[in-house]
Every structure is written in structure tokens, then in C-alpha cells.
Amino acid sequence: MSELLNRRLSLLGANLPLLKQCLHGIERECLRVTDQGRLAQTPHPEALGSALTNERITTDYSESLLEFITPALPDPAEVLENLEQTHRFVYSKLGEEYLWSPSMPCSLPAEEDIPIAEYGTSNIGRLKHVYRKGLALRYGRTMQCIAGIHYNFSLPEALWPLLRDAEGSGESERDYQSSAYIALIRNFRRYSWLLMYLFGASPALDKGFLRGRPHQLEELDADTLYLPYATSLRMSDLGYQSNAQAGLTPCYNNLASYTDSLRKAVGTPYPPYVEVGTHVDGEWVQLNTNILQIENEYYSNIRPKRVTYTGERPIQALASRGVQYVEVRCLDINPFLPVGIDISEARFLDAFLLFCALDDSPQLGNSECTQCTSNFLKVVKEGRRPGLELQHNGQPVSLATWASELIEQIRPLADLLDQAHGGDDHAKALDAQQAKVEDPALTPSAQVLARMTEHDESFVAFSLRQSRIHAETLREQPLPAERQQAFETLARDSLAEQSRLEQQEVGDFDLFVGAYQASILAISN
């Protein structure tokens, strides 16, 4: 254990109640599908409210891609309860449709028939729609139908000044906190391969997803492609491939270099996009012709975040007020779980992220950056291969050995969390993950393949069966009347709010987009 981690553990031990103030939030994306396991072509159900203004239920890329957002709460069990209630409410409004159980998509229609999300006629609603048209133009619509779980996590605000003073840092409180979160992200880059091994759940996909593109996958059956030892094809280079973003590697050595590289990407033209232009036949097709239309287009496994004010952009919030939490974006949806994630995974993530935040985190040199990326890609494609070796400090090490060592290094953090909360839930969550290291057959990715083989099912048939099982579980337990009523009210109010925005809209959309673009270029270095 590093000396720094030791000192920080002692400080935490003396301030245990603080650990109950970590905040957690979950965003879960999932496709709406027909009872045949095909993409639902129906509009976003009005009974779920406005996708623009309902803060709990919205859409992501497609009109058919739902996104459920929990509030940030200190107890992850409460966050999951919240997420489950949202699922149960949605099922009360879905009619014959289902929520798709895994991350990789169902049978998709022709590319041009995948509906892009609509947000109404207000300028901000139109901006969201045009941004998605730009994503379709740049990356294709099929890629945007992949779904995931985003896990948001923050350490208690009161902890940072204690650490800063104990370490005699000369930085301001805000800068110290931002530096610490960026250090967490660097360690996350080093160790996130472990999450892919433990929680990756997408070893197979529907053949139609690749639209006839060349690939190195194997055939499991006439309709399914897979890799025998893959953990997460979603996070492999089959997922997002962007030549424009290839040269964009935001450096996580400090917040300024991160925001700066994103700001440049949002302001730097990319010739193939310039060639298309922003309008085709008088219609907007992308917000601009730069490497990124907006900063959220940058695809990464983890992001530093700060809650934005109305009309403020993510980079503006970070630049002016620093990092407030991190968003982990590489987690697959577990198709065996009704809401795609469970409390054991959440408890492990908390201990893992706390370890990343508090352990020594030197700056990442180019060779280590490359090593991190290569370890990650190796695990998503062949993480369960017997004897698989990764690179650690430039030396080969077996995945199983390094994974066990890491879990042991995380254990003191799990113990502290258990002392703060009472019980031994975090220690048990670590034991459950260690069992997967010792027996790869216990990993979700292995379980998916085993279940498909056992039932002689294609990927789509397996996924639809899981979707039906979850639908039954969630529908069996209708929400208590007052919770149902609260969701109904939220939906109604959001529709009224969208309508109010549309009625009060002033100003031309083209000028609105111009002002939106200018807002980012105005941020000084």
C-alpha cells in the first residue's frame, strides 16, 4: 500500500461519518422494443412526459432509446430502489412494448428507419434534435442504439479541505478538489480493465448490427456473432469508431489541459464534416463542422462533471467551478438483472472509485497511456482467455494475478465503508468479485454465452426472453398509489413545461445556434 493511501486511510478512519455522505446516481439507457424483439417505431410515449423537460425519464439518441435518471443520493440501495420504481412506472405505460434487457441492440430496421429523438419546437429542443442528426451523419444511427449504465459518484465535499490541509497543499480548495478528481480519473484509466472483466456482459451481438461491415467476430449461429472470451463487445472498437476523434486524447494531467483539448475540438473544423456543411437542401444536418459539435460528443469511459446552470455548457461549468463528481460510462447493462445493475455491483464500484481517488496517481506518460488503452481493449475482447496477460509497468502480468492483487488493495476501502455504514456489504461485494477472478464462468459475459448455448438461442431470442422475464417481475408489483401519482404528476408537469417553453420562444434558431457555439469559444484558457 502506498504511503499516501495509508495516510489518507487514517484520516478517513478518524472521520468515518463522512463516508456516508458520498453521493451516487445512475443513468440507465434502454431500447423500447416490440413483442417480436424489433425496435419500436412508435413515438416516445406521451404518458411518460416530455423527453425535453422530464428530469427522470428522457430519451438518448433515438426516439426509441429511453434513459432513466435517478437523483444523486447517499445510499446506493435507495438509488437502485428509485431506478426500479421508474422501471415499474414505465411498464405501466408501455402497452405491448418491452424494455430491451442487454446493452447491444435488438434487430434494427434499415439505418434510415431508426428514428432520431424529437424534443419539440423550442430552440433548445431543436438544438438537441440537430445535434443527434449530426451524430447520425458522423457515426451512423446503428452505433447510437447501443445502451449502457452510467454510474455517477462523488466524495463528500467536506473531505477535500481535510485532505488538502493534512497534505499542506498550496492549491485553493476548488483546485485541490478538481486535481483530486482528475487523479481519480487517471487511476480509473489504469484499472478500469478490471470492471470490464467483472461486469462486461456483451460477448455477443445480432449479426445485422454490423450491416455487412468486415469484422473479426465468430459465428455462434446463423444470426449471432461473438468472441468466445469477450467480456464487452460494446466497449471494443466495434462500438464507437471515429476517425475525427482518433487524434483527440484529452490529457488527464490537470483540469485545464482536459477542458482545453475539448474546447479546441469543439472549435476546430474537420475537413470531411466541412465538406458536408451544416445545411443540406436548406435543412440543418449538424450543429457545426468541427471535430466535436458539443463537448458531450467526446466518447470516453469516464468524465469529470459539474452540475450545469440553465443555458451553461459542461466545459463552462468545469472551467468556472471545478469538478464536482465523476461519471463512469463503461458499464454494460447486465441482462440478468431487472434494472441492469444491482447493489453488489454498486458497493464494489464505490470501493473501487474510492481506491482510485485516494491511492497515489502519478501523471500518465505517453507509453503508460497506450498501455492503459491496450489493457482495456484486450480485456473487452478476450478477458476470459485462460492465462491472459496484461502489461503492468511495462512487464507482462497475468490478468488473474493482477485482478486479485487489486481487489486486495481495494479491501481496506471496503472495510472503511462497512465501518461507516455498519454491516459487511462492501466486503461481501469484494468477495463476490474475487470469486469471478477465480472462476471466469461466474462472469456475466460467460453466463450470457452459457445461457444462449443451453437454450440453443440466438442473441435476440435470449435477450427477448430476458426482457419478458423482467417485464413480468416489474409488472407483478405495481407502484404504491402515491408513487404512481408522483410519476404521473412529473410527466404532466413536464409536458406543460415544454409547451410553455415553446409558446414563450423568442429569437431565430440560426441565431440561437450561433450564440450557443460562441459561448464555448468565449471561455478563456
For range 146-155, the mean pLDDT: 98
What was the pLDDT predicted at 156?
95
CB 249 within 8 A of CB 401: no
Task: Find, among 469, 348, 343, the residue nearest to 407 by Cα.
Answer: 348
Domains and their CATH numbers in the chain: 3-501 (3.30.590.20)
Tell me how long the chain is.
525
Tell me the whole-structure pTM to 2 decimals.
Answer: 0.97
Enter the DSSP assignment of 290. B
Q: Does the pLDDT of residue 250 top 80, yes or no? A: no
For residue 406, give the C-alpha cell.
487489486
> Could you tell me the pLDDT band of residue 524, with boundaries at 50, 70 and 90?
very low
Distance CA 348, CA 151 (A): 12
- Cα–Cα distance, 79 to 411 (Å, whole number): 23
Are 360 and 292 in contact by the 8 Å Cβ rule? The answer is no
Instruction: List, for residues 477-499, the tens digit of each pLDDT value.
Output: 899 999 999 999 999 999 999 99
Q: What is the pLDDT of residue 241?
A: 59
Q: Are 149 and 333 in contact (CB under 8 A)?
A: yes
Residues 6+ positions from 163 with CB-CB distance below 8 Å = 8, 11, 176, 180
Q: Cell triple for residue 347? A: 458497493
First to last CA, the chain: 37
Instruction: Pick the range with the lowest mean pLDDT from 23-32, 348-357, 358-367.
Output: 358-367
Asked if residue 420 lies in contact with residue 20, where contact means CB atoms within 8 angstroms, the answer is yes
Average pLDDT of span 113-118: 98
As a whole number, mean pLDDT of residues 218-234 equals 97
What pLDDT was estimated at residue 145?
96
What is the C-alpha separation between 20 and 421, in angstroms, rounded? 7
pLDDT at 44: 98
Percent of residues, the chain, with pLDDT higher than 90? 88
Which ranges constitute the DSSP H helices of 333-423?
A: 343-358, 366-382, 399-421
At residue 430, the 3 state secondary structure works out as helix
| Residues 297-346: tens digit of each pLDDT | 998 999 999 999 987 889 999 999 999 999 999 999 999 999 999 999 99
Beta bridge partner(s), residue 107: 38
HSE (CB half, 13 Å, CA atoms) of 307? Answer: 6
What confidence score (pLDDT) does residue 311 get? 79
Residue 453 above 90 pLDDT? yes
- How far, in Å, CA of 364 to CA of 504, rounded? 49
3-state secondary structure of 329: strand
The predicted pLDDT at position 418 comes to: 98
- The rounded mean pLDDT for the chain is 95
One-letter amino acid of 61: Y
**Three cell numbers at 229?**
472470451
User: Does the pLDDT at position 249 exceed 80?
Assistant: no
- Rounded to an integer, the average pLDDT of 30-35 is 98
Phi, psi angle pair for 81, to nearest 5°: -60, -45
Nine cell digits for residue 121: 419546437
Which three cell numbers mark 484? 404512481
Fill in the DSSP letter of residue 232: B
DSSP string, 475-502: HHSPPPHHHHHHHHHHHHHHHHHHHHHH
Report whether pLDDT(525) > 50.
Answer: no
Nearest-10 crossing angle of helices 343-358, 3-13: 120
Strand runs (DSSP E) across 18-156, as ranges?
A: 23-33, 57-59, 65-69, 98-99, 149-154
Which has the minimum average pLDDT: 13-27, 88-102, 258-272, 386-400? 258-272
Nearest Cα residue to 486 out of 67, 52, 26, 71: 71
219 bridge partner residues: 225
Q: 367 falls in which pLDDT band (50, 70, 90)?
A: confident
Is residue 240's pLDDT more than 60? no
How high is the pLDDT of residue 50?
Answer: 98
